[in-house]
Structure 1
């Protein structure tokens, strides 16, 4: 394949893919068809499982431009393959953003931001490839409607509900999302996109953008059934059933079919239910009637499915559910965005600023959904109220539709989730391949032995293939999912709901959990702790409140009630909890104008706030000559909100313009983050000790809000204020003081974090709050112990020719001993007579520093996250990036948030659990009804239990296969085999019963510091499986050889049956017995049947692990009852032969002394298995050799060892030297890093120093130098 033929789609994005073009080849298609016929359809199945083989075997390589089929491959770690058919659409033009008139003739040169999708030199269409429009309308209808235009062929393909169009300019397929593709400026949106589209232009654009709907098609049961049945395991089961039926082994075949039908039915029900739930969620209000503006100034009512980017939608007065993403260009809306953010809090949306209208301070940037989200109405959000000018409409320009909207992207993330990368499943496939190799040996052995003994060909084929079905058990998938199903039920019982059951096992591996702060670690609401006013540039003493009569009209008090985004909905005050708490604390009253009042004026009637009468100063006594009307005006104190500049997370502030009733001049009030507010105030109004006072509050965990005020110029009229930029208002302010809010920890938080730390699970805080507040909360909740040091990393972007740099400083003044004196090498601690106390350090940084470090110090970022504990002021995408970085150093990451801005991180984490049940959290794998973090240990405990159950079941099924394989192979050597009913008894009465009961062990009651292995290819598990295989092989072989050495042994016939020798009556009965053609009934078969049946129970007991991850097996009464019953039954039929049972199981009567010897073999077998598994493996090897979570060895969670710990460490080193003479490096990347840093004398960076980034040399990573302060 030529390098130039490889195209990259979505470069730099999460869905980045490689694309190769192919053209169908007739002779290859014919050859593949012949192969499918010759293989009975198996080749078709193989090509279905391997799309890359399908494309390469039926097509020839061509350029992407001429492709009829494209082969896609993801560039992530999974490297998945997909194929898509390229279609051809007829359209009257080549660019949806050009008018139709410009496309009837040769188009003019496109602008710098336009895209040309025409394919003027398109290759001839393949036979049967019919041009058609993408919206599904017949091509003839389109040609008739646009008969005056030259039709153009547009090539595209659809992948994951997204259409990719061929773009001639970039010579690649590109996605059309909407108006953002044009990089249109805010002023251009106002000037060129507010008139609306003509009907023809709307129809034309709909050819490219399709119908405006988020279509979640619920597949038919038949389609889901076919997809499920074509799973490789079910195909193998079908092969096994056919083979068993040919061998007349109908009973187990029926049992497997019955189990498979139940498994498939359950899976279909679950998948169908999830599709229906998602469909219902999306379909609600997805089709509504909307009003749009036409180019001829008409208002037309259409279905929302007809909307296209560029349409101008009229937002109704009584609100609506938004059917698309649109930017507000006139009026104001109150919106509930809980569907997207998870916060059921009304948000005020204002119209997009228009720099061309003369607004001062506004930069004419290109419209961006993220940057201008305060002006954007997102699809699926609920517009509660609108505010408008009389005679004018509240309008919004449609930006994007369908799956390109914010809601569409959320639905796509649910429909097409990223696959779960879990070592267990990869190792399971490797282990199965090993079993297949073992089966291959038995297959060849069986064929050779049968040919040498001149066995009929049919028997050779059936018995040889039977070896494969024995070694690779068809019931394995059902057995492996049993533990997950039971864990899911237990989670549901405690209020944790799961939409991705496979992630339950992943949760068992979690060793780091990220927590949001507000609403997760702390309470949702804030309480007003106090205020600290500023006068004449100096702080007053802090006060519980400032609402005294003499201060009620002061700027400080006047700033609190109007500076908010609150509104009344159904008579109830609603809005941001912080705004709500501040407003309620003042005791003021908010009044909003009714529609009737607004209609009497030529402008929006302002929202008014006023104090209750009891807070006002006493009324003056009137003289008789005073004008009553003037008195009424002077005695009423009201503040009207003239204009609002909404809170911006980027600016960290909000402001309003207000007027006091009766005053001629207006006032500007601002509140926000203290640092941001102080930077916009006159220097002389900000107290000199501002930083110290602020730090004192934030260190104690308070949330601090700063207030500022400015008296506006008299020349600023109401109309001018409506068109002025916020930068002009938010300058030269006077600093008024601080509002101190208290965010209390949830009662459960400290205890849960302590449990996680005891279990060696790291905890990290990821919040959008102030860093010092976050550090204080981290200390209060126990995330950072009091004695640990905190190093703050302040990073700055390169500027003025200077390189990017990081400044390191302590969050607290260093206590003894100093950090630079700390030795982080813990491996030699046993050599110290008096072990010294090790001091830990933690890194803290904000979102800006995180972005700088990720861009300019990528190598250092991994080192920082190794000890990073507090990440503050983090944007939603930065939270996701942090999760990815932690996963990049091999942490298994859990994420717990309240659903607000955490969706991306919740989806990306190995185990994301949302504390919100709102629609935005549907993408989270787990949702908890318990509104605190106590669900996290429960989820990890259940995950560990499910993971250990999966290991136990897999090991048991592997041993079951090998035990049966050994029995059959030994019997094949004497041309014998196990009987059908012996197979049936083993497979159903023992195996299935044991598998489904041994999975019922509940999770252990507490988290322990040891984690279960992450995969099957690990020391403990391989040692366990291999030793048990050797034990079973040894005792079966001993039994097989020993029985042939007995003095009474002879070739079994009914006449030589021991029971017949002791009873003449039995002799006469057995004389009528038919000759055993298959040589099933013999002494070897009976002896091996007894021993192997007990071996299944023995390995079930030794593999059914309890503490520390599951409850002990003796508490699992169904398992205990099953095992005890089977033991009694086997002992009963062994020591008290029953004619009917013996004939059914095709076993023979053996001498009593041989039964005693067999019982001794079984007892010794059990003793050896138990000792090896429970003592040698669990006590000696696991604790002293295989232990991998001794993180203190790598500087992660050090603790001063006790004298007993020193002895254990010496024993560990001694045994490790004996068993593993060469020191094995840790597998996890974070352990490698910790090991390297523990011997690095320059790590951690010294506080009061600076690290600068140097330019990257070619093919080299960035590196840093340390510079003293």
Structure 2
């Protein structure tokens, strides 16, 4: 029965434009703060900006206008870089938000189309079904077994059944469809809806910070604290020696600037936002940043069968009538009894079908019955899909009082509620096994008779006459075998969790070379296990059949108790709790309900599990590159801090080798390196053949942190060696400063190249495709040349142009202070 049978025409394009002109767009609009001003306010609280501002004011106060102007320009540059990165992150997240905007089905110009929910207009004929979130207010004009959860408005958690006969036959924006289907005429959109009038907006909910974000925030706060402590100590020492308040304050500010790792929070935000945007371009929508963090740790994927492993293209494959001695292919000539079985199966389906099996049954009915009875009958009662095993029953009646009571569902559901002999039960069971071995999905079909209008409370209270079986074939996706192999190579275990029976699931699993297809457990058997037994069971079992929501939850909790990081795929209303409970809930973009999409943290746009391989690879890459960036920041900050502090603390010949001007110059050169180069790094070739990284509360292991510290100390040793060489050769302070600065810049460039991988050699990573490496290094080299060899800049920064020997000595020592780590990597590879 198509929607045409309800004589719904929908709006024309002209009527849509008129309605939009009168009532506007379907958006909730609330007063929001200016994002640019928010970013500026946030920037004004940054410790580095505050330090720069103070230093600039001190320079101006002491009459050193050149340095004061430079630091004022530096403030603008730091602010511009921060605002640019913030803008990139916001743009990426806005694109993500636009991409995840919900869609709605409406009837326009005589056909059903799908549009963005914000394009709905008053007067539209809206179709909503199980699992969808209602996008506007409307009045029901047709419904099948329709119930709605209105807790967002009423606070009542129980679903409310609604139809045209209800006193309140309206649907409301923000509520969710718990069951059935309805067609409604839209009466209010946007702020004029019930939800809009009471001013609730899901956008107003502030997102919580992720564990990694908190770790990085705490790290930066600690550095700020220690920077403040060292600042006070150095200020006190300098003031005690010189009794010059402003000069001692500037020297202390120099050290404080060198300690602050302000690049780290910027790098985190940039990596996560752009990472989510890159995933979106792959067809994977990430709803929460913490998902990007967790992806690289996934150890187990629990996947549905239908539509995930298979194509979700249900075609009617076989028909079996009870009492017949054959199973028939529906493409052959069907007997009268077989046609009657298909007719009954159609009546047991929804009048407006949306499930692939029901669509196939309606199509088969249309092919076998030229005279369409559907417009003559009206549904008078319905029992939704329910029970264990599940079934559903529909009651139709025509104007003459003829009644049809048809049911379909899991064949096992009929065995105890039908008048079947033991022999017939055995025949049915054997037929089910024969069909399931071919990978068919099987439904039992039954018919009942009932007089009167006081229907039983439960459909199982009818006495059914079991009519036969209809079997559907949903072929596996062509790429699914290779997808499973990729997961296996990445050290990730795949488990099939399905509502289908064991035989059908095993047959499909065998067809795609799924590992562990021979061992399975049913939902009922699983529920009988104790927690410790279940934990052992989920280790050894890869296929879980006849699953229901409670059983799925137990599987996820048992896997989590085994310290697994669990990915759960789902598409239905009942998958919501399991999707929320998993570390990463994955909803299907096409066949997934809105409730599933809301509960999930990630959406596969094309329902393609292969995209999860890409997502996990991207998650591993983002996490690895972020670690590289932060390790780089730690390594390069240590020599700046110690080069400023040690000559001052030990009373060397040139104690103030760097001023705030030099420190901020180094910061401006290094900042783009970590945020731009490392964010754009490609995935290393061994990324997806490694085991998932441990899911822990610590971002860095002790070994990783010590690697960065040792690298930083080695660079410090190099810069201080150059310092002492210059002093021992009686070079001037400006020449010494220029040599130390050049050594740091050279070390920075070589560290960038060496740390592109902590396993492969720099010669290997030079082949990686990252055009920004050459660009940023080229700019750095050119800028250094300008500072050293163009007089106005050389004089301003208190440098001296270096001779070729001085230049190559600085570059060479900078190279040696970094390149030693290549030997460490070579030892790693040899092991």
TM-score normalised to the size of structure 1? 0.51
Q: Distance in 2 between matches of 1:736 and 1:770?
A: 20
Pick from 663, 678, 682: which aligns with 1:1002? 682
**2:161 paired with 1:349:** no
Q: Which residue matches 1:262?
A: 84
Deviation at 1:865, TM superposition (A): 3.4
**SS of equivalent residue, structure 1 residue 559:** helix
RMSD of Structure 2 on Structure 1 (CA): 4.6
Deviation at 1:760, TM superposition (A): 0.4
Q: Distance in 1 between matches of 2:425 and 2:694?
A: 58
Q: Distance in 1 between matches of 2:402 and 2:786?
A: 102
The alignment covers a number of residue pairs equal to: 735
Pick from 321, 336, 339: which aligns with 2:132? 339
Q: Distance in 2 between matches of 1:1109 and 1:739?
A: 61
Pick from 227, 233, 236: which aligns with 2:47? 236
Q: Which residue matches 1:1175?
A: 826
Q: Is the 8 A contact 1:709 1:736 kept in 2?
A: yes
User: In the TM superposition, what whole-angstrom CA distance separates every residue of 1:1114-1153 from its partner, at most 9, and x where no partner exists?
Assistant: 421221243255457758987xx55445324321256665
Pick from 1097, 1108, 1111: which aligns with 2:749? 1097
Q: Which residue matches 2:8?
A: none
Distance 1:729 1:513, change over 3 A: closer
**2:353 paired with 1:582:** no
Distance 1:648 1:432, change over 3 A: same
Deviation at 1:914, TM superposition (A): 3.3
Q: Which residue matches 1:507?
A: 295
Distance 1:319 1:752, change over 3 A: same
Q: Which residue matches 1:472?
A: 260
**SS of equivalent residue, structure 1 residue 688:** helix
Q: Which residue matches 2:568?
A: 895
Q: Is the 8 A contact 1:682 1:735 kept in 2?
A: yes
Deviation at 1:319, TM superposition (A): 9.5
Q: Is the 8 A contact 1:698 1:773 kept in 2?
A: yes
Deviation at 1:937, TM superposition (A): 1.1
**2:485 paired with 1:754:** yes
Deviation at 1:754, TM superposition (A): 0.9
Distance 1:219 1:501, change over 3 A: farther
**SS of equivalent residue, structure 2 residue 455:** coil
**SS of equivalent residue, structure 1 residue 976:** coil
User: In the TM superposition, what whole-angstrom CA distance separates every residue of 1:535-559 from its partner, at most 9, and x where no partner exists?
Assistant: 2xxx623221398575248864553
Q: Which residue matches 1:1040?
A: 723
Pick from 464, 484, 494: which aligns with 1:763? 494
Q: Which residue matches 1:1120?
A: 774
Distance 1:516 1:403, change over 3 A: farther
User: Which of the two has higher C-alpha Rg?
Assistant: 1
**2:545 paired with 1:872:** yes
Deviation at 1:270, TM superposition (A): 6.8
TM-score normalised to the size of structure 2? 0.76
Q: Is the 8 A contact 2:625 2:679 kept in 1?
A: yes
**2:433 paired with 1:695:** yes
**SS of equivalent residue, structure 1 residue 504:** helix
User: In the TM superposition, what whole-angstrom CA distance separates every residue of 1:118-171 from its partner, at most 9, and x where no partner exists?
Assistant: xxxxxxxxxxxxxxxxxxxxxxxxxxxxxxxxxxxxxxxxxxxxxxxxxxxxxx
Q: Which residue matches 1:676?
A: 413
Q: Which residue matches 1:20?
A: none
Q: Distance in 2 between matches of 1:899 and 1:243?
A: 58
Deviation at 1:1092, TM superposition (A): 1.4
Q: Distance in 1 between matches of 2:205 and 2:761?
A: 33
Q: Is the 8 A contact 2:242 2:248 kept in 1?
A: no
Matches within 5 A, 1:478-627: 478-535=266-323, 540-545=325-330, 550-552=335-337, 556=341, 559-567=344-352, 574-586=353-365, 587-588=368-369, 591=372, 606-607=377-378
More helix by share: 2
Q: Is the 8 A contact 1:1098 1:1169 kept in 2?
A: no
**SS of equivalent residue, structure 2 residue 426:** coil
Q: Which residue matches 1:1027?
A: 710
Deviation at 1:591, TM superposition (A): 4.3
**SS of equivalent residue, structure 2 residue 132:** helix
Matches within 5 A, 1:689-838: 689-710=427-448, 712=449, 717=451, 720=452, 722-725=453-456, 727=458, 730-785=461-516, 790=519, 792=521
Pick from 915, 930, 937: which aligns with 2:588? 915
Q: Is the 8 A contact 2:284 2:604 kept in 1?
A: yes
Deviation at 1:768, TM superposition (A): 3.0
5+ long unaligned stretches in structure 2: 1-25, 59-67, 107-122, 136-140, 148-155, 185-192
Deviation at 1:993, TM superposition (A): 4.8
Distance 1:947 1:1127, change over 3 A: same
Q: Distance in 2 between matches of 1:927 and 1:966?
A: 48
**SS of equivalent residue, structure 2 residue 84:** helix
Q: Is the 8 A contact 2:520 2:543 kept in 1?
A: no
**2:614 paired with 1:938:** yes
Q: Is the 8 A contact 1:644 1:656 kept in 2?
A: yes
Q: Distance in 2 between matches of 1:1157 and 1:1013?
A: 43
Q: Distance in 1 between matches of 2:436 and 2:707?
A: 54
**SS of equivalent residue, structure 2 residue 350:** coil
Highest RCO, 1 vs 2 (Cα 8 Å, sep ≥ 6): 2
Distance 1:771 1:746, change over 3 A: same
**SS of equivalent residue, structure 2 residue 606:** coil
Q: Is the 8 A contact 1:241 1:257 kept in 2?
A: no
Distance 1:227 1:912, change over 3 A: farther
Q: Is the 8 A contact 1:512 1:892 kept in 2?
A: yes
Q: Is the 8 A contact 1:1082 1:1147 kept in 2?
A: yes
Q: Which residue matches 1:645?
A: 383
**2:531 paired with 1:858:** yes
Q: Distance in 2 between matches of 1:1119 and 1:850?
A: 54
Q: Which residue matches 2:392?
A: 654
Deviation at 1:939, TM superposition (A): 1.1
Deviation at 1:465, TM superposition (A): 3.8
Deviation at 1:956, TM superposition (A): 1.4
Deviation at 1:350, TM superposition (A): 3.9
**SS of equivalent residue, structure 2 residue 800:** coil
Distance 1:516 1:436, change over 3 A: same
User: In the TM superposition, what whole-angstrom CA distance separates every residue of 1:566-604 from its partner, at most 9, and x where no partner exists?
Assistant: 23xxxxxx443212212323423574677xxxxxxxxxx
Q: Which residue matches 1:1217?
A: none
Deviation at 1:738, TM superposition (A): 2.0
Q: Which residue matches 2:153?
A: none
Distance 1:590 1:729, change over 3 A: farther
Q: Is the 8 A contact 1:763 1:869 kept in 2?
A: yes
Q: Distance in 2 between matches of 1:1109 and 1:589?
A: 72
Q: Is the 8 A contact 2:419 2:464 kept in 1?
A: yes
Pick from 216, 220, 232: which aligns with 2:32? 220
Deviation at 1:950, TM superposition (A): 0.7
**SS of equivalent residue, structure 1 residue 221:** coil
Q: Distance in 2 between matches of 1:417 and 1:675?
A: 48
Distance 1:1024 1:402, change over 3 A: farther
5+ long unaligned stretches in structure 1: 1-213, 286-317, 322-333, 353-366, 388-400, 568-573, 595-604, 608-640, 793-844, 1053-1080, 1185-1269
User: In the TM superposition, what whole-angstrom CA distance separates every residue of 1:511-541 from its partner, at most 9, and x where no partner exists?
Assistant: 2222222222212221222123222xxx623
Deviation at 1:677, TM superposition (A): 0.9
